Structures are given as C-alpha cells and as structure tokens.
Amino acid sequence: MNQTTHQKAEDQISSKRLKAIFGGSIGNLVEWYDWYAYSAFAIYFSASFFPKGNTTVQLLNTAGIFALGFLMRPLGGYIFGRLADRIGRKKSMMFSVLLMSFGSLLIAFIPTYQTIGIVAPILLLTARLLQGLSVGGEYGVSATYLSEMASKNRRGFYSSFQYVTLIGGQLLALGIQLILQKVLLTDAQMHDWGWRIPFVVGAILAIVALYLRKNLQETEAFESQKNHSSDKKGTIKALLKHPKAVIKVVGLTLGGTLAFYTYTTYMQKFLVNTMSMSKEDSTLMSFATLFIFACLQPVFGALSDKIGRKPLLIGFGVLGTVCTVPLLTILSTTTSQWQAFLLLMFALIIVSGYTSINAIVKAELFPAEIRALGVGLPYALTVAIFGGSAEYIALWLKDMGQENYYYWYITACIFISLIVYISMKDTKIKSELDKDLINKP
C-alpha cells in the first residue's frame, strides 16, 4: 500500500470515527435533556402534582420522585448493559432512547392533582421510573461506545464528549426554560401549563435521536467478540469475576456524582430556595455556568491523554475535600450575583477533574465482553444511592434547619473517593481497551 492510499484509508477511518462519536453524543444529549427537564421545571410544576402548602415541602415531594427515578437506574444499567454486551451497543442505545421518549410524553399529558387527585403523582412517578430505566442504561452503553470508537491516544478527549452532551442536555432544558420565561410566557402561564412544553419537545427530540442511532456504526470491539460464549457476555456471573474493577467503579463514582448533582441539578433550587434569587436569575446563572462547564470537559479530557487520568482524579479529590464546605457556606450567604457566579464556577472547575474522564476510566477497567454492564451497573447503583438522593437530603436538612450538614456529607463522600483515586493504578497506562482490535495506536 503506497503512502497516498494509506493516508486515504486513515482519513476514512477518522471520518467514520468522528461520525460515530457525533451520532452517539447527540443521542446522549437528547436522553439527558429529557432527564434534566424534570429537575429544571420542577419549580413550576411541583404545585400541580401535590397539595398546596409549603414551597419547600412541595419541592421535597418532587425531589422524592426524582430520587425514586434513580432507583430504576441500576435495573436500567443491568438490562441495557446486558443487551449491549450481547446484541450490540447500537441496538441497546436505540431501545433506551425510545423508552425515554415515551416517559417524556407521559409527563407532558398528565392531568394535575386538582383534576385527578392522588393518581397525578402516581402517574408522574410511573413516568420517572421509565425514564430512570432508560437513563440508567444510557450511561454505561454510551460510555462504552464512545471509548471503543476513540483512537488510543485521544480516548480521554473523545470520551469527554459524553459529559459535554450530558451537560448539553441540561443546557438545552435551561435554554428552553429561559425562552419560555423571558419571551413567550408569563409566570402564571408557566405554572399553569407552560411547564408541559419541554416534555413534548423532549419526546420529539428522542425520535430524532432514534433516527441518528439507527445509522450508527457498531464498534469493532463488540464485533470481534460477539461470537464468544454467551456465558462470558453481559452476565452478573461474568461481572463478578472482576470484583476489584467493580469496587473501583463504585469508589470512583461516589464523591463525583454527589458533587456533580449538587452543583448542577440541585443548584438551581439552592439559588432560589436558599439565596432567595428569582427563578429567572437562577435559570440564567445555571445556564451560564453550565455552558462554561461543558466547554471545559474536552480540555480536561485532552489533558488526561497527556498526563494520565490519575492526576486529574486526585486533583478533584483533594480540592473537593478541602473546598466544599467553605464554598457552599459562602454561597449560601452571599447577596452578590457575581460572587455567586464565581464561586459556582470554581466549584464546577474542580468537579471537571472527575466528570471529564470518569467514563473512560471505567471503560478501561473491563474487557469488551462485559464492558457495558461493568461500567453501567455499579455506576448506576452508586448514582441511585448518592446522586439520586442528593436533592432530597439537601432539602430535608434545610427543612430541619441544618443545611450545613449537607456540605459535610458531600465532603466525606469526596474524601472516600480520594482514597480510591490514590490507591488505584492509572488506567491510561494499563487499559483493557488496548486489547480491543478497534483501539490500535
């Protein structure tokens, strides 16, 4: 093969890789938009599904359903991870986005508590459980897909786009909220029926994502092992042959997921409920900080390709342990929006040491025949317990008048993760992905 032909072949491979990563990432964005729309618009629809009363209690009930939705994520991680390891990453991602579309459509058309009584929150819970099942499968499968499609020397950079699109989903939800708040609807209309619009949009976008995923290329890592014995693929028995890797995934996730959900999903409510910021201003601040946060992910991901994954994780662990309590304490008392913005941005820079590379680190721990389940199930279990309960615990402690206890809770969890970061080997140096045919230097 001459140099020109070789270069054309390399360009074709790069083009296919970029197309696959783009398609997988956009589908991920739509999935997470649907998931986050619930949290972003909860300040408007909480009164529609629960009896009138204390605003914090209404948000607490809504956060309770948010947390229960997380309980389905381990089941989703198991079902879709098993499917991905047995029938393919592509098919599993198609099924998950279709289920998310159905959950969003259901929320969009649920009658209010005032109309059908207790049935309203039951239907809301049902929709969230379906969405929890979907998004529980999404993380492990998309993390596996992106890491397997990436070239060896750019795995950190390419896999960081999982969190770019994950955060992008939240940005899209907030962007639609800003348009509805500032341009199209009054506050009364937002509370009355306007909150339903983003869920209709989410259902439509999910159909678009389904089309994109239908045209994705399957990974060579999956293709190379699909004829292996079924006993080795996507089973709990096979997963338990890698106990150290499973424990590492739990330890990696513990502090990071709690910090992530605190500074993203819960922060909008914190700004309104603790800082007494207006809903419109809190939405605008959340949008601005999250946009910068999303842009940081590829920067940190590329940095991990240069210096390794471990230094970034340790940086997050140390700074998160030291800075969480003072950051949230000052944030809760400040009256300056600029100071609040800078504090929140500093917190998100710290968290980027985890979010930008956590997907690739987990994927590098498992062989191809068990990778999607190995990444997805332990992660989903940890997120269900700690990430899913973050809002509920924060609001519960606030209602008790002990909000500062929550700050120490986050600190303790990050410190536990720090111990794991220090004790583990750098997965960039020793990676199971190096054994896959797709990932050649």
Residue in 258, 219, 433 with CA at minimum distance from that of residue 347: 258
Higher pLDDT, 145 or 42: 145
pLDDT-derived band at 304 (thresholds 50, 70, 90) equals: very high
pLDDT band at 73 (very low <50, low <70, confident <90, very high): confident
Please tell me the distance from the alpha carbon of residue 172 to that of residue 36, in angstroms, as a whole number.
9
Q: What was the pLDDT predicted at 38? A: 78
pLDDT for res 275: 76
pLDDT at position 195 over 80: yes
The residue ranking higher by pLDDT, 20 or 364, is 364
What kind of architecture, by CATH, is found in domain 21-219+230-433?
A: Up-down Bundle (1.20)
pLDDT (0 to 100) of residue 3 = 47
Asked if residue 299 has pLDDT above 90, the reply is yes
Note the pLDDT of residue 408: 94
Q: Are 380 and 142 in contact (CB under 8 A)?
A: no
Q: What is the mean pLDDT of residues 286-290?
A: 87
Give the mean pLDDT of the chain.
82
How confident is residue 224, by pLDDT bands cut at 50, 70 and 90?
confident
On the question of pLDDT at 363 being above 90, the answer is no
Residue 11, pLDDT score: 42
Q: 116 near 44, Cβ under 8 Å?
A: no
CB 206 within 8 A of CB 98: yes
User: What is the DSSP secondary-structure string of 83-125?
Assistant: HHHHH-HHHHHHHHHHHHHHHHHHHHTPPPHHHHTTHHHHHHH
Distance, in Å, from the CA atom of 209 to the CA atom of 282, rounded to the nearest integer, reads 29
Give 3-state DSSP helix, strand, coil % of the chain, rounded to 5. Answer: 85, 0, 15
pLDDT at 10: 42
Please write the tens of the pLDDT for every residue from 392-423.
788 788 878 888 888 999 999 999 999 999 99
| pLDDT bracket for residue 56 (50, 70, 90) | low
SS3 label, residue 335: coil
* Mean pLDDT along residues 319-339: 89
Q: What is the pLDDT of residue 228?
A: 62
Q: Categorize the per-residue pLDDT at 143 as very low, low, confident or very high, splitting at 50, 70 and 90.
A: confident
**pLDDT for 387:** 77
pLDDT at 85 over 80: yes
Q: What is the pLDDT of residue 62?
A: 65
Residue 258 has pLDDT above 70, yes or no: yes
* In the chain, where the domains are located: 21-219+230-433
Q: Tell me, what's the pLDDT at 63?
A: 64
User: For position 333, what pLDDT does the model report?
Assistant: 85
Are 152 and 37 a contacting pair, CB within 8 Å? Answer: no
**Residue 298: what pLDDT?**
93
